[in-house]
Each structure stands twice: as structure tokens, then as C-alpha cells.
Amino acid sequence: MIVLPTWIVVLLAIFAVIGITDRVFMPSVRWFFRSRANKAIEELNTRLQMRIQPFKLTRRQALVDQLMYDKEIVQAVEDEATKTGKPRQVVMAQAARYAKEIVPHFSAYTYFKIGTRLSRWLSELMYRVRLGYSDDEALKNVDKDATVVFVMNHRSNMDYVLVTYMASSSASLSYAVGEWARIWLLQSLLKAMGAYFIRRDSGNLLYRKVLSRYVRMATRQGVTQAVFPEGGLSRDGALREPKLGLISYMVSDFSAENNRDIVFVPVGVNYDRVIEDRVLTSRSEKQITGRSFRTSLSGVFGYFARNMKLWFKGKLYRYGYACVSFGTPVSLKQWSGQNDVNFQGLDDKDQREPIKQLGADLMASIAATVPVLPVSLVATVFLGSKGEWMSELEVKSQVFDLITQLEKRHAHIYIPRENRDYAVSAGLRMLTLRHLVKERDGLYRENQTEITLLEYYANSIKHFM
């Protein structure tokens, strides 16, 4: 007979239960939930126009391992070790950290049950969300096996939320997200929604190689992605010159014969009010007027108090309209054939010019897709008024003339309620409430101290002029 203390017997019993649970019950539980998840994904794929690819559902560690054994990354590690004199194992561990930082861990449940519902709630809480122009016929004819990449202008950090909501019935989007979102809990949510983080201004060659290989791998495997060719938010409201890093990774070594097609879908986004407008224009504002934009806790509470007051009075109109338009897709296979370009076999230097040309064509498609909203129309008219006071009737007359000009240039104009009178009234009301336009005895004039912000909203349609 062996006599054991009671606490050892209890400890052994606990370990036995854990062992039995782990070896006997947990495999069955994991199989049950995995089968449920697979059925849910199969059901989703029957409803989505752009299917969730198996690559996106691969376990994150398997993707990291696949990335680390890529021959180009192995060669980059060797080059870095030779260049810096560091041990190869140290450089390999550094590359592995980069890979874990970049590779997401997509969860269909998180994306469709939490992410899209949250994006819908937040979008509709802040804006009157509208779908503008959409080339539905061309979008339906996109090759089912093609990799779809949504390319869009970047007006606000709300772009991520708004486009996720608007595209949720067709696709799950994988965003390239900057370092601003590397906040505890938020970054976990974004990674579970398929986003991958990038260091936009990193000059580290090893990091850039790991990033480029992941983007190329995801593109070759058909992952639906969304990128902002401008690289960052527009500070003056106008479209920026494209930064083509991510797009160059996608098309690098592309072969029309051997690779699945890459289809770029131009997306235009516009707002009657951008949440960060004063922050974005603060640099220009200081240069012009010498004023600096500052915020404080009392200012934040004051802002909410004013909005609550307007809400009780029935005069809180949210932030006006937010509109998304989807343009005609651009097939890389067709584009390559029309421009006699073959990316396969080109080194980095030789493909700069073709990629630059592709970027210019994509930006032109995005520019043509940007919706024209009431605030941008009214702001443009006041900037051209040269400080003269105008009646509401005069404002409407000039806006109607502007709409006619824009229609001739094939701009996509969103007219709320299909009523031009109401559209002008809505835009004028928004600018008056924000004191960007002054009102006196039924006459209106731009507020000279807010010219920078008026220009910001007018610049969103400046490219049509």
C-alpha cells in the first residue's frame, strides 16, 4: 500500500481530468465547431459575389511558416546577415517577427457577425449612407476566379468602416492598415477581420521583402483586397498622386498566361462632412491664418453638449450624406494586352514606368467615380462668389448651372430625393450650421475665416472642373 497526501491525490485527479479532456473530448469539440464554421462559410460563399478563398481561412501559423520558407525571403535573410554581420538565426527571427506582425488571422464570424454589423451601425449613426453610381453589369461579369482589388480615394478613416458596410453583401475585404490602428483590442479586431498591418515609411529592406511576398502570395491565391493608392488621407480634399508600393507588389512578375487575372474595381467615396476635416486642414490653416487647431477635454464635452441640444430641438442632421460609388472594373490581363506590357521577368527598375502608367490609369478611374454631393456643390459656388451676398434663389441657380456643367463631364452626382431644390437646401444648411457660410437677412456669403475648410470640400470635385 502506498499512502499519499490528500493534496497530491487532488492534484493528480485534476491533471487526469485535463489530460482526458484534451485527448478525448477536445478533438470532438474542435471537430464540431470546425464543421459548423465550414458550413457557415459554404453558406456565405453561396451569397457572396466574391467567394472567401481557402488561403484566407488557412491557419495563421501555417501562413507565417509558408512565408518564412519562401525562397526570396530566405535569400533576403542571407543578404541581410551578410550585410550586417548578424548571425543568420537572429535575422531569421527578425523576419519571423515581421511576418507575424503582417499576417492576419481572419475569422468569418468576426467579420460578418461583428465587423459588418458594427460598421453598419456606426455608418448609419453618423451619416445618411447612400450608394451612388454602380456599374452592376460589369461587376457581375468579373471572372469568378480573378483576384479582385478595390482601389479607392482616401477621404477619412471612416472609409474603412463605410466601404466594409457597403461591400458586405458581395465580399469580405482585406485592408492594408497603417500603424495608426496598432492599438490594443482594435488591432486584434482588425486582424480577425482580415486586415494586415504595414509600416508605410519603413526603409528596412528585409521588412519590405516580407511585406511584398505576403501581398503577392495573397494576390496569387485570390484574396479580395482593398487599397488606397494615395497612401494616406488627403489634407486639402483633392486627390493625391498615387503611391504604388502595394500595387507594385501585386502586379510584380504577373503573367497573363500563367496567373489568375487581377481585376481592379475603382471606388469613389465622398462625404458632406469629414470627421477629421479640421485636423487634416490644420497645417494649411496655420500657414494662411496663423491659427492652430487645438482640442481639449472641455472642447469635446462642449461638442457633445451642442449636438445633444440640436438633437432635442430636432435639428441634428448627423453629418449629412456619405456616398460610395463603384466604377467599371479594370482587368490587368486586358490592360496589359492593350498597353503591350508584360510584367513577368521585369526587374524593379524596368517595371517602374509600366506600374506608374497603371497607377495613373487607376487614379483616373477613381477620380471619375467620386460622387458629387450637396456640400461640395454649394462650397464650390460660394468660393466663386468673390465675397458677394447671395439669396437662396441665387445660390440654387448657380448650383443648378454647376450641375449641368458636371453632367456634361460625366460626373456622378448624387441628388438626394431626386430633388435639386432639396439638395441645395441640404448643402446650404450643413455649411450654415457649421458657420462656414454666414447668413444675414436671408442672404448668404462665405465666412472669410473658414475659407480653408470651404476649399477642402470644394476640392473633392475639383478634378471634374
pLDDT tens per residue across span 376-420: 999 999 999 888 999 999 999 999 999 999 999 999 999 999 999
What per-residue confidence (pLDDT) applies to 325? Answer: 95
Position 164, amino acid = T
The yes-or-no verdict on residue 45 having pLDDT over 60 is no
Which DSSP state fits 23?
Answer: I
Highest mean pLDDT among 254-263, 272-281, 371-380: 371-380
Q: In whole angstroms, give the CA distance from residue 128 to residue 423.
A: 13
Lowest mean pLDDT among 34-38, 85-89, 137-141, 436-440: 34-38
Same fold, 102-275+321-369 and 374-464: no
When pLDDT is cut at 50, 70 and 90, the band that residue 41 belongs to is very low
Give the mean pLDDT of 326-343.
90
Domain 102-275+321-369 CATH superfamily: Glycerol-3-phosphate (1)-acyltransferase (3.40.1130.10)
In the block, residue with C-alpha cell 452592376:
136
CA terminus-to-terminus distance, the chain: 96
Indicate the SS3 state at residue 445: strand
For residue 175, what are the β-bridge partners?
226
What per-residue confidence (pLDDT) applies to 33? Answer: 46
Indicate the SS3 state at residue 133: strand
Output 308 or 129, whichever has higher pLDDT: 129
Output 358 or 200, whichever has higher pLDDT: 358
CATH architecture of the domain with range 374-464: Orthogonal Bundle (1.10)
Indicate the SS3 state at residue 151: strand
Total-model pTM: 0.84
For residue 176, what are the β-bridge partners?
196
Q: In whole angstroms, give the CA distance from residue 47 to residue 169.
A: 8
Q: Is the dihedral of CA 157, 159, 165, 170 positive or negative?
A: negative
- Helix residue spans in 54-203 (DSSP H): 54-57, 60-68, 71-84, 88-102, 108-109, 116-126, 136-140, 158-167, 186-192
Domain ranges of the chain: 102-275+321-369, 277-318, 374-464
The yes-or-no verdict on residue 444 having pLDDT over 80 is yes
Q: In whole angstroms, give the CA distance from residue 216 to residue 194.
A: 16
Indicate the SS3 state at residue 135: coil
